[in-house]
Structures are given as structure tokens and as C-alpha cells.
Structure 1
Amino acid sequence: MTQSLPALPVADFRTLMSHFPTGVAVITTTAPDGVPRGMTVSSVCSVTLSPPTLLVCLRNGSPTLDAVLGAGAFAVNFLHGDARPVAELFASGAPDRFDLVGWRQPDGAAGPHLVRDAHAVADCRVSRTEPVGDHTVVFGEAYRVAHEAGHLPLLYGLREYQVWQAGRPAESG
């Protein structure tokens, strides 16, 4: 006999996950009409080394998800510790966000690279998608990566941003 389990309240799950610090990234792509799209995420995870695959979780109905699916590609811009304002901007839904940051799209890139705010970027081809609740899990096979030396990652946990420091996180300015 299968027992019916109670549903966990959203607030309880949100609190639980706030206790798991994670890196902060901006997913970018170019829509079929040529408009750049992007959103802040903290749900990025490596899946496998061969082929080099990661996953991102994007909100259903977001223009960024629609553009990623239309383009079949996306860039993961891993933000550095001084990029908290950019994380907040791309989480805000502001329609002019790309006018407010430095970016370029190198030849063959999967999406805009946030040149002043990312310490690493992975260009990915969409290899598969899986709808789950109000989000879609997008698997991307990385085909190119770029790194900027000398930057520490931006983290998010306990509902605040922090900068990774050698040995332990320290507060972001």
C-alpha cells in the first residue's frame, strides 16, 4: 500500500536550499530575432566530464528559456566577486539589462560574454531538456571555455551574496 506523503511548503524548501551556498551565474543567449537574453541563476551543476555537460534550471515562460530553446545554445557566465550588481540586475527582469553591462559575443560563442563581470564562461550546445515543475532543466554540452585570472567567484547562500576567499567566504561589498 502506497502512503500519501504531505507536500512540503514552498517556504520550508526555500529555507532549506538557502543553507546550501552556490555559485552565481548569468545564462545568456541570442534570440532568433538577434536580441540578447539573459537571467541570473544559482542552479548550475556539472553532470559529466565526457561529454563535458552541465545543467542549468530556467524558469518556464522566461524570455531567456524561450531564446535558449530557439537558439539551441547558451553561455554560462560565472560571476566574480565584484559582480553582485550584475547578478541583481539580471535577476530583476529589467528590459535594458544588456545596455547596462559590458558584453561581447565572440565568433562561435553560444551567447553574450559578460566581459567585465564573469571570471569564467562556458559556451554550450543544448543536448537535452526536461520540464520539472515551474522550471526546465537544460543540459548543455560545453564546447568552449574562457577564464579570467585573478578573480574570485561570487557565491549566494543564507539569502546573501558573498565572495569566495581562500579557505572561507567573506562578505561582498
Structure 2
Amino acid sequence: MTEQFRGLMAAFPTGVAVVTTFGQDGEPWGMTLSSLSSVSVDPPTLLVCLRYSSPTLDALVRTGSFTVNLLHHEARPAAELFSSGDPDRFRQVAWEHPASLGGPHLVDDAHAAADCVVDHMHRTGTHVVVFGKVHTVVHRSAAQPLLYGLRRYASWPRSA
């Protein structure tokens, strides 16, 4: 059933994001994800799903805030870097510390970012669903989003 389920979800294209946060010592943490969804407009709330064993999740739980960086179509290298587990990933991308609560903003790779405060969490299986109340949204560019489906990256079609 595991492979059948993976095949099912691979057939559902989605956007690509990097969720980021800071550890208690100020160290940046982050990971690529495609499990992101809008939950409510009032109050603005979204959800992200992170692996239970993720150090990014540990840091997020401790700080209580995070940022969702929506990657643009030329940011595939960042998506791959943040899914690799490379401990030096933040030395390989441009990022800045937001003035508000949240995590690092990937200034060259994200076309938009949402800073969130953790509202609540729910563990299911190997992942934790994190509900975040959005308090700041930054639009950096009108670049096309990076998509992922059928186990490969793509850009939004120009004719769309």
C-alpha cells in the first residue's frame, strides 16, 4: 500500500515551499515541503506537514514560529538543497532575518513568504501537521511558481 499511496500522491502536482525557522541559539533551520494548504482566510491560517524526526520541526516547536517560502520556477537548486539534509544549506543561499516573528526569508529563491505563529499541532503517522496563523505576507516578485509532480520539477505553463 505504501508504494501505491506514493504513486497516488506523485500524480497530484503541487507548489514547492521551504519552511524555515530559527533555533533557540538563532541558528537557521529549514526543509523543502510540498504539503502546504490554506485552512482559513479569517483568521488567515495555513498548515504544513513536517517529518516527526525533523530537526527543523524541533526548532519550530521550540520557537513557536516559522516562515513558508514559496519558491519560484528558477529555484529548483534551493528545493533540492533544502531536501538534501546538507548542514551548510544556509551558507549556500541568500537569506535575511525578518523584522517580525518567523524564520529566514529566502530572498533570491522565494517569490513570496508568509510568517506564521504556531496555533496548534497534530501528529499523524510519520508526520506532524502544524497549523500556523499568518501575521505577515511578503510578495517579492511576480515570478512563476515552482511545481512538483510525477516525481519531477516544472514551471507553470506560459500559456496558462
Segments of structure 2 that go 5 or more residues without pairing to the other structure are: none
| Residue 46 (1) aligns with residue 35 (2) | no
Q: Distance in 1 between matches of 2:101 and 2:113?
A: 10
Tell me the CA shift for residue 167 of structure 1.
4.1
Alignment of 1:1-173 (within 5 A): 9-168=1-160
TM-score (norm 1): 0.90
Determine helix, strand or coil for the equivalent of 2:156.
Answer: strand
Moved over 6 A (4+): none
For residue 9 of structure 2, give the secondary structure of its aligned residue in structure 1: helix
Deviations 1:53-95 (A, max 9, x none): 0000000111100011001000000000000000000000000
Aligned sequence identity (%): 56
CA contact (8 A) 2:38 2:46 kept: yes
Task: Return the offset for 1:148.
Answer: 1.8
* Structure 1: runs of 5 or more not aligned: 1-8, 169-173
Structure ID, larger Rg = 1
For normalisation by structure 2, the TM-score amounts to 0.98
Mapped partners of 1:150, 1:162: distance in 2: 17
Aligned length: 160
Cα distance, 1:108 vs. partner? 1.2
CA distance in 2, matches of 1:15, 1:49: 31
RMSD, aligned α-carbons: 0.9
Work out the CA distance in 2 between the residues paired with 1:49 and 1:112: 24
Q: 1:112 offset after TM fit, Å?
A: 0.2
- The answer on whether the counterparts of 2:101 and 2:117 sit within 8 Å (CA) in structure 1 is no
Amino acid at match of 1:122: A
